[in-house]
Amino acid sequence: MTRPSGRAVDQLREVSITRNFTCHAEGSVLVCFGNTKVICTASIENRVPPFMRGEGRGWVTAEYGMLPRSTGSRMGREAARGKQGGRTVEIQRLIGRSLRAAVDLEALGENSITIDCDVIQADGGTRTASITGACVAMADAIAVMQERGMIEGNPLKQMIAAISVGVYEGKAVLDLDYPEDSNAETDMNVIMGENGGFIEVQGTAEGEPYSREELNQMLDLAGKGIGELIAMQKEALK
């Protein structure tokens, strides 16, 4: 088997993480996994949603969107259609849930962080790039909160990152691009923390069910990829 991109089965695409990409957000990152490019911003507010008020804990939430022409053919704009599609809702819930696992909400106090992940160019793996970039943006936003005296101590428990793995032409591969993703037999997204624990595993058989062995191979690849991504996040944050 040869991957369409010529990469080795355990090889990430070229990844870049650019901080301060836009000027207004407390954290703003352009993350690229190959041709997949996502603007991730983290916005802070000194209050929490109504249902959490008075409990002394903070909140982290996320929204996700794709520019209409981030894809090969133009998608209808969700704002114009009047609602977010099911895929969008599913992805933004995943991003929010994952990032909350990186933060001690008690230590955040009654403050909120809102993550926005907007895909400007898509080539597979937009949700994993989003989570990986958003964690860096969130780290920057938390630093701003510290500078402004909104919080004491560091609510960031650990960096987290995400990667897709899959079974493509019978073989487990790391970080699928669109040509692989649209033909994979199995597609799995893995989110892990820097301590090596799992935050979320979502693996879907696109055609035939997958075996326990394939699952293990994919998790091995994911562990390797996430280790590399977390190293890059840390390098970017230096």
Contact indicator for 173, 166 with CB cutoff of 8 Å? yes
Residue window 180-199: x/- pattern of binding to a second copy, with contact defined by CB under 8 A: --------x---xx-xxxxx
C-beta closer to a second copy: residue 22 or 182: 22
Question: Which positions from 90 to 109 touch a second copy by CB under 8 A, shown as an x/- string?
Answer: x-xx---x---x--------
126 is in an annotated binding site: yes
Can residue 205 be called a binding residue for a second copy (CB under 8 A)?
yes
Q: Got the DSSP string for 127-165?
A: HHHHHHHHHHHHHHHHHHHHHTTS-SS--B---EEEEEE
Q: Is residue 57 marked as binding?
A: no
Query: CB 36 → a second copy: shortest distance, Å?
Result: 11
Do 43 and 23 form a contact (C-beta atoms < 8 A)?
Answer: no
Please report how close the Cβ of residue 68 comes to a second copy at its closest, in angstroms. 5
Q: Which of 163, 156, 165 is nearest to 229 (CA)?
A: 163
Residue 131 interacts with a second copy (CB under 8 A): yes or no: no
Non-local CB neighbours of 62 within 8 Å, separated by 6+ positions: 92, 93, 95, 96, 99, 114, 115, 116, 117, 134
Q: How far is CA 128 from CA 72, 113, 189, in A?
A: 20, 19, 7
- Are residues 171 and 1 in contact, defined by beta-carbon separation less than 8 angstroms? yes
Among 46, 53, 79, 153, binds a second copy (CB under 8 A): 79
Size of the site for a second copy (CB under 8 A): 64
What's the start-to-end Cα distance of the chain, in Å? 39
Residue ranges for the known binding site for phosphate are 87, 125-127
Binding residues: 87, 125-127
Residues contributing to the site for a second copy (CB under 8 A) = 22-25, 28, 35, 37, 39, 41, 43, 45, 63, 65, 67-74, 77-80, 82-84, 86-90, 92-93, 97, 101, 114, 116, 118, 120-122, 188, 192-193, 195-205, 208-212, 215, 219
